[in-house]
Amino acid sequence: MFDPNFKYTNTIVTNLVEITSAREIILNAYLIPKWGVSLRREALIRATHASTAIEGNPLTLEEVSKLAQGREITANRRAKQEVLNYLKVLESIEKYQKDGKILEKHILNIHRDITRDTLENPEWEGKYRKIQVYVGNKITGEVIFTPPSPEEVPGLMRSFIEWLNSKESFNLHPAIVAGISHYEFVRIHPFADGNGRCARALVTLIFYIRKFDIKRFFALDDYYDSDRKAYYSALKSVDQKTLDLTQWLEYFTEGVKLSILKVKERVLQLSIEKGRIERKGQIALNERQMKIIEFIQSNGRITSADIQKMFKISRQAAHKEIRKLLQLEIVEQQGSGKGIFYVFK
């Protein structure tokens, strides 16, 4: 069975403590259901854009967002299909497991669904590679390392999957398991193409199974894409003779920490004081009203002019949006005449 080689450093331990603390705050923070849906959708779109961009997909975040909404964009067929495939896999990530275990067929299905109708050789979809490949930076062309021969792939994958479902694995922090899995998957490089996207989807699946990212709010792919050079350097940091993952796990857990801290900050901005919610119960707000709440959280107040400018709407329409917040006693009016503004009540 695969036996990962790494040691806990101060950096890794500190990252894990901050990750766990932020997760608890996110899980316990009150969010209006519509906000939760909005946060999940944003994370899904950012993850899809970042993960496909790393592999060279040219679509912008805005174009990916339009595709996610079912809108048409001007782009080549393969670029659009790659994005749509990854979106679909992330949207239904829970189906690639059974009773909390990831089987070989699930890995093959992830690859099949991620690469569907995008490979030059369609027969490679969902099947281990039969050719030798190289891991490298697609932007610079630099070769990072040479994966095992195709003959070794099936055995290495079985060994890895056995560990992934083992008691030893489940005793580790989910971020450590995800980091180890990401690297080992990329090292084996089981497929002829699409390995990076599969590895990052696998991380999402592991967090889902280990009940870590229950609300599906954070997109780790953003971290990789924000500094691709650092991503490839971290992959390259692993000595191929010792396979010591310590330095890689420092990088990986730092990414989880930064990603989840961003979510924590956003969630805290959106949260409304618990006592008021308990008195009022669930409050359903539309998209504009949610953005008004965010604006007040960030700026302390909002005016009708701010709302008009934010949404490019008339003064009458702006008053209509704020009126419901006043009726629900979420905000209150202060000032007078042209100096009227709104704050949390």
pLDDT in tens, 97-140: 999 999 999 999 999 999 999 999 999 999 999 999 988 776 67
Tokens of residue 258, six digits:
């930064």
> For 302, phi and psi rounded to 5 degrees?
-150, 150
pLDDT at 184: 97
3-state secondary structure of 332: strand
- Is-above-0.85 flag for pTM? no
**CA–CA separation, 102 and 9 (whole Å):** 29
Q: For the chain, list the domains and their CATH numbers.
A: 10-270 (1.10.3290.10), 280-344 (1.10.10.10)
Q: How confident is the model at residue 173 (pLDDT cuts 50, 70, 90)?
A: very high
pLDDT at 276: 54
Decide if 212 contacts 174 (C-beta within 8 A).
yes
Tokens of residue 154, six digits:
């099936």
What is the longest distance spanned by two Cα atoms in the chain?
78
> For 330, phi and psi rounded to 5 degrees?
-85, -35
**CA–CA separation, 115 and 120 (whole Å):** 10
Indicate if the pLDDT at residue 278 is higher than 60.
no
pLDDT in tens, 190-221: 999 999 999 999 999 999 999 887 678 888 88
Tokens of residue 284, six digits:
């359903």
